[in-house]
Amino acid sequence: MEHLLKRRAVILLWVFTLVFTGLIGHLAYIQVYSGKRLSQQAISQQSQTVALEIPPRGQILDRSLRPLTGDREVWRLVVFPAAVTELAKEAVVLAPILRTNYPEALAYLTGRTRLLPFDLDAEQVAVLNRHPLPGTVLAKVTIRARKPLLAGHLVGYLGKDAGGWTGKMGIESFYNNDLKGDVPNSVARVFLDARGKVIPGLGWRIEKGLKDKDRKNVVLTIDRDIQEIVEKVMDGAGVQDGAVVVSDVRTGDIVAMASRPDFSLEVPRNTGTGYDAVNSTVYGVVSAATYGTVSTSVYPTVGSRVYGTAGSTYGTITVYNEESYINRCLSLYQPGSVFKVIVAAAALEEGVVNPNTVFLCTGEKDDIVKCYRKDGHGLITFAEAVAYSCNPTFARVGLKLGAKKLIEYAAKFGLDNDSIIGYRTGKANDRLNRIAQPYNLVNASLGQWPVKASVVQITAMMGAIANDGIYMPPRLVREVRDTEGRTARVIEQGRPVRAVTEKTARVIQTMLGTVTKYGTGREALVEPWGSAGKTGSAQVGSEKIDAWFSGYAPLEGPRYAATVLVNNGESGGKTAAPLFREIMQEILKREK
């Protein structure tokens, strides 16, 4: 009997031990692992908050970790209606401060807890600091610009949908899942009791430095200073339709990317069609049947998108062009004579020509293709043909080289793939194969249809020549970081590809140097550092010219490759080359 009692006691002891161990473990779990979360839940149930960051979102940074997103810090007024003590009296005081009327001020002080949707100037802030009103909090708010001041097409813009603020274009869209945050970095909080009244002694407070484990920062290869130089030069020259890309020769990293025309978020998109009467707002697509003859200063053609106000007949109609949202750095164009760099590299590498090989150019009488020079260049060496961009010479070189080899070398220089590391996942395409179709080889040798390339691709091609024949795939994003600055993932540089031998690249470098010294690209000579490159004037349609210049600088120890495209320009030498010179001079001046 005694033995049985002892056994029962031992069993009970173990049962109680296990129960208490479980309870202690559960309490430890609550305190250690769930304490912070449960504490936050308890606080949120007993308080109301207003976010002081709009929207909670990670930063897009340049290569030196400087923000490109255009955030601004402003003073705004937070209103906690539950803490308002004398509604009518406060509305009377608040109305003149906010420069509004009594009913509107009264509406601000009632309803839900909120942040008033307008910025306060220094005078308003001073008055509110001198005369604080119960139920209101003056707070600094961080507001993300919907569209940045620099690199608009690349960074992109924000828009609202059912899930809140989200990226609609560019990096903002491509990295939306990384950038999108859950917790604002600061809030204004007021503590309430069970009846919804402000708890005496606690009132309100500003909480800063809140942690958000979900959001990330995206670090680009872009250099903000170089980006600013590029856009300033483009706008100063009045470029309305074009693109510029600048890259690091050694790494392939894109350090600047700018597209024009710039877009505006102030004008609504796709608002409707038709118009009602004189002086009404005009929307939609211009058609001769609906609008008759439409005259504008930008796109005076039937089919243009319009947004504006009709006048006595049709009045002054402001054109709203949806194409302004297109990043022209990524669009495909006929590269014109800048493609001759690949033709020359392939021909030299394959032994088809050497710099001293002589050709005969008879100008407009040439039996293969006309030269832009009416009387021709006469007897001309291949090196001179590069400097003067002689079309008949390159037509003959292309025919001798053959389509198969031209396609092979164009692929080595990256023209078969639209990918940009960290941003754009393209895939190999068969566009280059059209070069082998009947009657296309001569045109292709001059950089005309069917050859097409983006400004990014041409810049990477030129970078390979400057890099002694080693092609580096273009990269736009370097890494993704958490908000503590720790690297979450690295976007590695691409694998180097030997496009041509160093010997061939050096010969091409010498030839491209003559382009800026005495050839078609004299306006692209960057003093005192020297430069090299190639002009291009691609005929598009019967009248339109896409003006190109792609080159690198300094001449010795090249650091940057850059490509300028101006749609509807005069020529590569007259329109694009001067922009290249000005951009490179400003970049190199900055780095002295």
Give 517-543 pLDDT, tens digit per residue: 999 999 999 999 999 999 999 988 777
Band (pLDDT 50/70/90 cuts) for residue 8 is low
Q: Do 462 and 563 touch, CB atoms closer than 8 A?
A: yes
Band (pLDDT 50/70/90 cuts) for residue 430 is confident
Residues 515 and 523: their CA atoms lie apart, in Å, by 10
Residues 134 and 336: their CA atoms lie apart, in Å, by 69
What is the average per-residue pLDDT within 20-24?
66
Residues 344 and 514: their CA atoms lie apart, in Å, by 14
Beta bridge partner(s), residue 283: 274
What is the average per-residue pLDDT within 217-235?
98
- Return mean pLDDT, the chain: 86
3-state SS, 290-316, equals HHCCCCCCCCCCCCCEECEECCCCCCC
Instruction: Report residue 567 CA to chain centroid gap.
Output: 20
Give 176-218 pLDDT, tens digit per residue: 999 999 999 999 988 776 665 667 666 678 899 888 988 999 9
Residue 305 has pLDDT above 70, yes or no: no
Q: Outline where 328-454 has alpha helix (H).
A: 340-349, 382-388, 391-401, 403-412, 441-445
Q: Where are the domains of the chain?
A: 225-260+328-590
Give 453-481 pLDDT, tens digit per residue: 999 999 999 999 999 999 999 999 999 99
* Residues in Cβ contact with 492 at an 8 Å cutoff, skipping those fewer than 6 apart: 421
Sign of CA dihedral 173, 58, 228, 245: negative
Residue-wise DSSP of 455-467: HHHHHHHHHHHHT
* Residues in Cβ contact with 84 at an 8 Å cutoff, skipping those fewer than 6 apart: 90, 109, 110, 133, 134, 135, 136
What's 237's DSSP letter?
T
What is the average per-residue pLDDT within 110-137?
92
Residue 8: CA count within 13 A, CB half-sphere: 5
Residues 70 and 152: their CA atoms lie apart, in Å, by 10
Among 260, 404, 245, 395, smallest CA distance to 326 is for 260
* pLDDT for res 112: 86
* pLDDT for res 195: 60
Class of 225-260+328-590 in CATH: alpha beta
Residues 241 and 262: their CA atoms lie apart, in Å, by 9
Determine which of 2-11, 131-140, 445-454 has the lowest per-residue pLDDT on average: 2-11
Band (pLDDT 50/70/90 cuts) for residue 9 is low
Q: Do 371 and 384 touch, CB atoms closer than 8 A?
A: no
